[in-house]
Amino acid sequence: MHEILAKHAYSKTPLTEQEYCEIRLLEWDEIRGFGFFICIRHAAWSEELRRTVWTSERIESVSSLEAAKELYETRRAEAVRAGYAYSDMKCDDHSEGQ
């Protein structure tokens, strides 16, 4: 699962005012064994660099797919409460802002 949430509608807000939250559910099975990661990153415009930059990242791991889906939904709900209401997933229950 992978989704990008925005604080503003993409077509109505200048790029310099956009803020994003990316949420991913990833599977791993290498060195640490089998399990899942939930990765959350935030991005905003950097006037100094004159581009959008990713400013933070949070990675959490769980051992089951069910727990990963639950954590994904929890972190997604937190992002929506923080104002990231516009989703890039158009054909999903998660498209509040569309």
Q: Among 76, 40, 41, which residue's Cα sits nearest to residue 60?
A: 40
**Considering the domain boundaries, does residue 97 fall inside one?**
no
Predicted local distance difference test score (pLDDT) of residue 30 = 64
**Considering the domain boundaries, does residue 16 fall inside one?**
yes
**DSSP output for 32-75:** T-SEEEEEEEEEEEETTTTEEEEEEEEEEEESSHHHHHHHHHHH
Predicted local distance difference test score (pLDDT) of residue 1 = 87
Predicted local distance difference test score (pLDDT) of residue 10 = 67
User: Domain span at residue 27?
Assistant: 2-87
pLDDT-derived band at 11, boundaries 50, 70, 90: low
**Considering the domain boundaries, does residue 96 fall inside one?**
no
**Considering the domain boundaries, does residue 93 fall inside one?**
no
How does pLDDT run across 38-97, given as a tens digit for each residue?
999 999 988 899 998 998 899 999 989 999 999 999 999 999 999 998 888 754 444 444
**Considering the domain boundaries, does residue 98 fall inside one?**
no
Query: How many folded domains does the chain comprise?
Result: 1
**Considering the domain boundaries, does residue 47 fall inside one?**
yes
Could you give the angle at the alpha carbon of 69 between the alpha carbons of 21 and 76, nearest 5°?
25
pLDDT-derived band at 98, boundaries 50, 70, 90: very low
